[in-house]
Amino acid sequence: MPEHCAAYSCANRRTAESRARGITFHRFPKDKSLRKKWEIAVRREKFTARDSSVLCSQHFKEADFDRTGQVVRIRDGVIPSVFKFPGHLQRPEKSRNTSASRKSEASLSETPQDNSVASTSHSESQPEDVSISILPISMS
C-alpha cells in the first residue's frame, strides 16, 4: 500500500512516479520531542504520527537534506517548514506591543529624507572631503 504524505492537503504518495520527480519520503523521528515538533509543524488537528507516518521532501528546505550518500536523509534536528496552509491555519503575524517598537515601526514607514538634506544637517560635526594636489616646485 503506498504511503501518503501526512502534511495538510498534500497529495504526494510514495510511487514510482513521485520518485522519478525526485520526491523523497521521510518517516517522523523516533525522538519524542522532535517528533512532537514535526506534529505541531504539520498543523493537523488531533494528529499523532504513527510509526509509518511520513512527510515528503517538498515540506523541507534544500539545506535540510544530507545528499552525500546514496540515500537522501534529513539532517539531525530539522523541523519541516515548507507548507501551503489555507487561511484558517495560517499563524497570525505578531503585532508590536511596546511603545518603543511602535515608534520604530512608524519611523520605518515614513518616507526617507533626501540624502543631500541629511548630509547638510551634519556638516558641522563631520569634516568635509578636501582634495589637495601637490605640484613639484622647480628651483631655477
Domain locations in the chain as residue ranges:
16-83
Residue with the larger pLDDT of the pair 102 and 50? 50
CB atoms within 10 A of CB 120: 10
Q: What is the pLDDT of residue 109?
A: 52
Confidence band, pLDDT 50/70/90 cuts, at residue 72: confident
Tell me which long-range contacts 25-32 makes (C-beta under 8 A, separation of at least 24): 25/54, 25/55, 25/56, 25/57, 26/54, 26/55, 26/56, 26/57, 26/60, 26/73, 26/74, 27/51, 27/52, 27/53, 27/54, 28/53, 28/54, 28/55
Question: Amino acid identity, residue 35?
Answer: R
The percentage of the chain sitting over the pLDDT mark of 70, rounded to a whole number, equals 59
Residue appearing with cell numbers 537534506:
65
Percent of the chain with pLDDT over 90: 20
Contact call for residues 78 and 60 (beta carbons, < 8 A): yes
Phi/psi at 69 (5° precision): -100, -165
Residue with cell 499563524: 91
| More confident call, 113 vs 137 | 137
